[in-house]
Structure 1
């Protein structure tokens, strides 16, 4: 098995606590509402919301992923999850693990730090174009959540 790691930073004008509440704690409700093109539904398959919980996210085209919550730190606004099953995984990918941290920036906003580990089967390599596509989708979701929070200043306080 190989592991390929990518680190990405995104910025937001919204404070870390609000982003964390919206993007992590209420994603199941918020994403289908503000990004129906990205997520049709989310359902808990196993668990109660803590580490080990597995959720199935269904996309508008009927494809899906299952992701496991690996860690969550409410005090430091960070969490880790792994895509463990579904249409984004190929025969060469065992799982995709993400660790996301929402860090306060000097201007009152947030620096969103994401580490992504692609766990491959055997000596397989990561398709760089697909990795870039995933990064762009994540950036788009962060911007959608940011826009929603800016337009709704009372939400997730």
Structure 2
């Protein structure tokens, strides 16, 4: 049965700056979130366009997962939207389908701040699989922590 989880996060950073940082996540996230990411590497593609496959290795502190392979399905810099599916790793045993879509928009006309719309579509592999609350909480924390980093740099 298909399920959806949505999250809206408001940040102080301008949409363009936040979007650029997210698009540079392969290099940036292991540097600014060493407690979460051991490494992120591009396995196929250019690292940003649709069709790209990335291998994400998590630290011991991240619950339930050691790695994930994700495939970029949509990458639209003009609309600031990216969508990817998890194609390998522990999450695949919990969820038959697992797709995340992120869109960044300006909060106001003056460019002060942005809104991140994060959506996760998934199908649980079984009824025993817990709701993905940890994933949603981690996403929210990541957006807030990224905003803090960008405001200081």
Both proteins in one fold, TM over 0.5: yes
In the TM superposition, what is the alpha-carbon distance from 1:134 to its structure 2 partner?
0.4
- In structure 2, the residue matched to 1:155 is none
In the TM superposition, what is the alpha-carbon distance from 1:28 to its structure 2 partner?
1.0
- In structure 2, the residue matched to 1:110 is 114
Q: Structure 1: give runs of 5+ residues left out of the alignment.
A: 153-157
RMSD: 1.6
- Matched residues in 2 for 1:38 and 1:140: separation? 11
- Matched residues in 2 for 1:136 and 1:115: separation? 13
User: Would the aligned equivalents of 1:85 and 1:95 in 2 still touch at CA under 8 Å?
Assistant: no
Greater CA drift, 45-54 or 68-77: 45-54
Task: Note the alpha carbon deviations across 1:41-75, whole angstroms, 9 max, x for none.
Answer: 01111122311111100012381100010101101
User: Would the aligned equivalents of 2:12 and 2:113 in 1 still touch at CA under 8 Å?
Assistant: yes
- Matched residues in 1 for 2:120 and 2:59: separation? 24
TM-score (norm 1): 0.85
Runs (4 or more) in structure 1 with deviation over 6 Å come to none
- Matched residues in 1 for 2:29 and 2:19: separation? 13
**Is 1:63 aligned to 2:66, yes or no?**
yes
- In structure 1, the residue matched to 2:143 is 142
- In structure 2, the residue matched to 1:101 is 103
The 5-angstrom pairing of residues 65-84 of structure 1 reads 65-84=68-87
- Matched residues in 2 for 1:116 and 1:54: separation? 18
The 5-angstrom pairing of residues 4-153 of structure 1 reads 4-23=3-22, 25-49=23-47, 50-61=49-60, 63-90=66-93, 92-106=94-108, 108-121=112-125, 124-125=126-127, 127-128=130-131, 131-152=132-153
Q: Secondary structure at the match of 2:92?
A: coil
- Matched residues in 1 for 2:140 and 2:7: separation? 10
In the TM superposition, what is the alpha-carbon distance from 1:88 to its structure 2 partner?
2.8
